[in-house]
Amino acid sequence: MSEPTRYETIIGLEVHAQLATRTKMFCGCGAVFGAPPNTRTCPVCQGMPGSLPVINRRAVEFGIMTALALGCGINQHNRFARKHYYYPDMPKNYQISQYEEPLAEHGRLVIDTGAGPREIGIQRLHLEEDVGKLLHDGALETAQSSSVDFNRAGVPLMEIVSKPDLRSPEEAAAYLKAMRAILVFLRVCDGNMEEGSLRCDANISLRPRGRAEYGTKVEIKNMNSFRNVRDALEYETRRQARALDTGERIVQETRLWDPDRAVTVSMRSKEFAHDYRYFPEPDLPPLDVQPAWVEQIRARLPELPEARRARFQEAYGLSAYEADLLTQGRGLADYFEAAIGAGGKPKAVANWVLNELLREVPGDDDRAVEACPIPPANLAGLLALIDDGTISGKIAKDVFEKMYRTGDTARAIVSREGLTQMADEGALGAAVDRVLVEHAKVVEDFRAGKKAALGFLVGQVMKATQGKANPALVNRLLSEKLPKG
Amino acid sequence: MAEGGSRISPADVEHVARLARLELSASEKERMRSELDGILAYIDKLRALHTRDVPPTSHAVPVTNVMRDDEERPSLPQEEMLANAPDRHRDLFRVPRIIEE
Amino acid sequence: MAGLASLTAHELGARYRSGAATPTQAVSECLARIEALDPRVRAFLTVTREDALRRAALADARFRTGAPLGPLDGVPIALKDVLCTRGIRTTCGSRILDGFVPPYDATVVARLFAAGAVLLGKLNMDEFAMGSSTENSGFFTTCNPWDLSRVPGGSSGGSSAAVAAEMVPLTLGTDTGGSIRQPAAFSGVVGLKPTYGRVSRYGLIAFASSLDQLGPFARDAEDAALLLGAIAGADPMDSTAIDVPVPDYRAALGRGIEGLRLGVPVEYFMDGMDPEVEEAVRAAIVTLEKLGARTEPVSLPHTEYGLAAYYVIAPAEASSNLARYDGVKYGLRASGARDLIDMYSRTRAAGFGNEVKRRVMLGTYVLSAGYYDAYYGQAQKVRTLVRRDFDRAFEKVDLLVAPTTPGVAFKMGEKADPLQMYLNDIFTVPVSLAGLPGVSIPGGFTRDGLPIGLQLVARAFDEATLLRAAHAYQTVTDWHLRRPPLQAGTADRTPR
Could you tell me which of A456, A466, A450 has the C-alpha nearest to residue A435? A456
Helices (H), C42-80: 49-64
Give, in degrees to the nearest 5, the angle at Cα C415 between C410 and C418.
Answer: 140
pLDDT class of A428 with cuts at 50, 70, 90: confident
How much is the ipTM here?
A: 0.95
| Residue numbers in A near C97 (CB within 8 A) | 49
- The string of pLDDT tens digits covering residues C165-194 is 999 999 999 999 999 999 999 999 999 999
Average of pLDDT values for A321-333? 90
Q: Is residue A1 over pLDDT 50?
A: no
Pick the residue of C367, C378, C383 with the most A CBs within 10 A to test the interface with A by mutation: C367
Sign of the torsion formed by the C-alpha atoms of B82, B84, B89 and B93: negative
- Rounded to an integer, what is the distance from CA C493 to the centroid of its chain? 25
The identity of residue A41, as a single letter, is: T
- The string of pLDDT tens digits covering residues B20-48 is 999 999 999 999 999 999 999 999 999 88
- Count of CB atoms situated within 10 Å of the CB of C380: 23
pLDDT for position B89: 94
- Count of CB atoms situated within 10 Å of the CB of C349: 18
List the subunits that have 3+ CB pairs under 8 angstroms with A.
Answer: B, C
User: Which of A:220-279 have CB within 8 Å of B?
Assistant: 267-268, 270, 275, 277
List the subunits that have 3+ CB pairs under 8 angstroms with C.
Answer: A, B
> Do C440 and C181 contact (CB within 8 A), yes or no?
yes
| Residue numbers in B near A149 (CB within 8 A) | 91-92
Report DSSP state, residue C20.
S
pLDDT for position A485: 52
Q: Which residues pair with A10 in a beta bridge?
A: A205
- Rounded distance, CA A203 to CA A165, Å? 11
Domain extents in chain A:
7-291, 303-417, 425-481
Q: How far is C46 from chain B (nearest CA, A)?
A: 18
- Rounded distance, CA C453 to CA C190, Å? 9
| Residue numbers in A near B67 (CB within 8 A) | 54-57, 60
- Rounded distance, CA C144 to CA C79, Å? 18
Average of pLDDT values for A199-218? 93
Sign of the torsion formed by the C-alpha atoms of C202, C203, C208 and C214: negative
Cα–Cα separations (whole angstroms), residue C134 to C83, C138, C274, C425:
16, 9, 21, 14
pLDDT class of C489 with cuts at 50, 70, 90: very low
Q: How far is C222 from chain A (nearest CA, A)?
A: 29
Q: How far is B95 from chain C (nearest CA, A)?
A: 7
pLDDT class of C412 with cuts at 50, 70, 90: very high
pLDDT for position B100: 61
> Do C127 and C151 contact (CB within 8 A), yes or no?
no
pLDDT class of B4 with cuts at 50, 70, 90: very low
User: Greater confidence, A451 or C299?
Assistant: C299
Q: Is C177 left (phi over 0), alpha (psi -120 to 50) or beta?
A: alpha
**Which letter, b or e, does each residue of A162-200 get, where b requires 16 or more Cβ atoms within 10 Å of its Cβ?**
bebbbbbbbbbbbbbebbbbbbbbbbbbbbbbeeebbbb
Give catalytic status of residue C179 as yes or no: yes
pLDDT for position A450: 86
Domain C4-301+384-481 has CATH 3.90.1300.10: yes
Average of pLDDT values for B45-62? 88
Q: Which residue of chain A comes nearest to B67, CA vs CA?
A: A55
| Residue numbers in A near C84 (CB within 8 A) | 43, 48-50
| Residue numbers in C near A53 (CB within 8 A) | 239
pLDDT for position A113: 84
Whether B36 and chain C come into contact, CB under 8 Å, resolves to: yes
CB spacing of B43 vs C375 below 8 angstroms: yes
Q: How far is A373 from chain C (nearest CA, A)?
A: 43
* Catalytic residue, candidates C6, C156, C179, C187: C179
CB spacing of A288 vs B65 below 8 angstroms: yes
Q: What pTM does this model have?
A: 0.90
- The string of pLDDT tens digits covering residues C186-234 is 999 999 999 999 999 999 999 999 999 999 999 999 999 999 999 999 9
Q: What percent of chain A has pLDDT over 70?
A: 97
- Count of CB atoms situated within 10 Å of the CB of A484: 6
- The string of pLDDT tens digits covering residues A144-182 is 899 999 999 999 999 999 999 999 999 999 999 999 999
| Residue numbers in A near C368 (CB within 8 A) | 275, 277
pLDDT for position C492: 38
**Which letter, b or e, does each residue of A117-153 get, where b requires 16 or more Cβ atoms within 10 Å of its Cβ?**
ebebbbbbbbbbbbbbbbbeeeeeeebebbbbbbbbb
| Residue numbers in C near B23 (CB within 8 A) | 345-346, 348-349
| Residue numbers in C near B40 (CB within 8 A) | 362
**CB nearest B86 (choices: C319, C333, C387):** C333
Average of pLDDT values for A11-24? 97
User: Greater confidence, A270 or B59?
Assistant: B59
pLDDT class of C495 with cuts at 50, 70, 90: very low
- Nearest-Å Rg of the Cα atoms of chain B is 23
Whether B62 and chain C come into contact, CB under 8 Å, resolves to: no
> Do C256 and C291 contact (CB within 8 A), yes or no?
yes
pLDDT class of A269 with cuts at 50, 70, 90: low
Give catalytic status of residue C80 as yes or no: yes
Q: Which residue of chain A comes nearest to C343, CA vs CA?
A: A88
Pick from A438-442, C160-164, C178-182: least confident = A438-442
| Secondary structure class of C444 (helix, strand, coil) | strand
Pick from A422-426, A434-438, A451-455, C433-437: least confident = A422-426
User: Greater confidence, A427 or A222?
Assistant: A222
- The string of pLDDT tens digits covering residues A376-391 is 999 999 999 988 888 8
Give catalytic status of residue C155 as yes or no: yes
Please give the CATH number for the structural domain made up of A425-481. 1.10.10.410
Helices (H), A371-470: 376-387, 393-406, 410-417, 425-438, 440-447, 452-464
- Rounded distance, CA A8 to CA A214, Å? 10
**CB nearest C101 (choices: B22, B39, B83):** B83
CB spacing of C239 vs A88 below 8 angstroms: no
Q: List the domains of chain B with CATH numbers.
A: 1-51 (1.10.20.60)
pLDDT for position A461: 87
CB spacing of C348 vs B47 below 8 angstroms: no
Pick from B47-61, C269-283, C450-464: least confident = B47-61
User: Which of A:12-51 have CB within 8 Å of B?
Assistant: 21-23, 27-30, 36-43, 46
Pick from A41-45, A313-317, A445-449: least confident = A445-449
Q: Is residue C2 over pLDDT 90?
A: no
pLDDT class of B5 with cuts at 50, 70, 90: low
> Do A352 and A379 contact (CB within 8 A), yes or no?
yes
User: Greater confidence, C417 or C163?
Assistant: C163
**CB nearest B39 (choices: C103, C304, C311):** C311
Q: Is residue A140 over pLDDT 90?
A: no
Whether B96 and chain A come into contact, CB under 8 Å, resolves to: yes
**CB nearest B81 (choices: A22, A46, A284):** A46
Q: Is residue C132 over pLDDT 50?
A: yes
Contacts of residue C175, defined as CB under 8 A and 6 or more positions apart, other chains included, come to C156, C181, C191, C193, C212, C213, C215, C428, C432
| Residue numbers in A near C210 (CB within 8 A) | 282
Q: Is residue A424 over pLDDT 90?
A: no
pLDDT class of C493 with cuts at 50, 70, 90: very low
Average of pLDDT values for A82-91? 96
Q: How far is C6 from chain B (nearest CA, A)?
A: 38
pLDDT class of A364 with cuts at 50, 70, 90: confident
Average of pLDDT values for A338-343? 94
Q: How far is C423 from chain A (nearest CA, A)?
A: 25
Q: How far is B5 from chain A (nearest CA, A)?
A: 26
Q: What percent of chain A has pLDDT over 90?
A: 67
Average of pLDDT values for C310-326? 97
pLDDT class of A392 with cuts at 50, 70, 90: confident
Whether C295 and chain A come into contact, CB under 8 Å, resolves to: no
User: Greater confidence, A402 or A419?
Assistant: A402
- The string of pLDDT tens digits covering residues C358-371 is 999 999 999 998 89
Pick the residue of A52, A137, A288 with the most C CBs within 10 A to test the interface with C by mutation: A52
pLDDT class of A138 with cuts at 50, 70, 90: confident
Whether C151 and chain A come into contact, CB under 8 Å, resolves to: no
